[in-house]
Amino acid sequence: MGSLKVNLCGIELENPVIPASGTFGYGYEFAEIYDINVLGTFSFKGTTRDPRFGNPTPRIAECTAGMINAVGLQNPGVEKVISEELPKLKRCFNKPVMANISGFSVEDYVYTCEKLDKEEQVGWLEVNVSCPNVHGGGMSFGTSPEAAAEVTREVKKVTKKPVIIKLSPNVTDIVSIAVACEEAGADGISLINTLLGMRINKARRAPIIANKMGGFSGSAIFPVAVRMVYQVSHAVNIPVVGMGGVSSAEDVVEMMMAGATAVEVGAANLINPTACKDIIEDLPRVMDKYKIENLSEIIRCV
């Protein structure tokens, strides 16, 4: 069997499969189902400076080949993540974990990143810039190269661990934003976050989700994700973590050929809680099928 190992920002992973933030909680919930140490790592639930209850319900709507969610970053806040969630995780996961961080101002990002950077369990900081900028009229930090670069630059000033900036696909030119983040000091880029979608309850003549619109994810968005990973990976010289509709070992290989060093799996975890385990177990078969000796050799081979 060939090697499944990859190197993400200086840290070796046994395989490139990473459950995406928001679909895997803080890990220990899934540890009741299988040994989560088979994972390359995982990105834990999006964490903010202060506790958040999230958006009103209903927050999820089904779609053909996907789903829409508007959970609203529900989490207990960084202090409780450090004092309560990470100790629970440590009992069932013995690898570095990826901390997913959100904020509504540059100060929010800096505060939360600085806190989590000091945690021994944290290997990478995945900074989600798809949040609304409360000081910038509500527009997402990730819609502007300048705003995304500012977050990157300020976070890098207070951290020592690799900073991976997670980008939104809801932009005209994702490449210019990725390049701006690299120039500001980002150690990696992850993409894509969810597309913006909406469903309507025809009987009630009203949106299904209380928030009206939400993040569209699932296998339907996979071609969009592959395209954007390809574009960004060929424009930057830092690792790219690809995600968006990944649900099989075949998808992982395709995403890596497009340019991803590692691959996150999101909505598939909500359909099948052993999705990532199943993908990892199937990777050797798919590697044999395409005559792949080592997964690291196919990164950006297209």
CB-CB contact of 13 with 40 (8 Å): yes
Q: Which two tokens stand for residue 226?
A: 């592959």
CA 209 from centroid of its chain's CA atoms? 23
Question: Which 3 state secondary structure label does DSSP give 131?
Answer: coil
CA atoms within 13 A on the CB side of 197: 21
Region class of 27: left (phi > 0), else alpha (psi between -120 and 50), else beta:
left
CB-CB contact of 185 with 163 (8 Å): yes
Q: In the chain, how long is the greatest CA-to-CA distance?
A: 55
Q: What are the backbone angles phi and psi of residue 83, rounded to the nearest 5°?
A: -85, -25
- Which listed residue (131, 181, 276, 301) is catalytic? 131
Question: Quick count: other Cβ atoms within 10 Å of Cβ 210?
Answer: 14
CA 43 from centroid of its chain's CA atoms? 6
Q: What's the full length of the chain, in residues?
A: 302
Using CA of residue 243, residue 214, residue 231, residue 109, what is the dihedral sign?
negative
Question: Which 3 state secondary structure label does DSSP give 144?
Answer: coil
CA-based nearest residue to 78, from 124, 47, 41: 47
Give, for 195, the enclosing helix (H) or strand (E): strand 195-197
CA distance 43 to 226: 20
First-to-last alpha carbon distance for the chain, in angstroms, is: 23
Q: Is 92 tagged catalytic? A: no
Which residues are catalytic, by number? Answer: 131
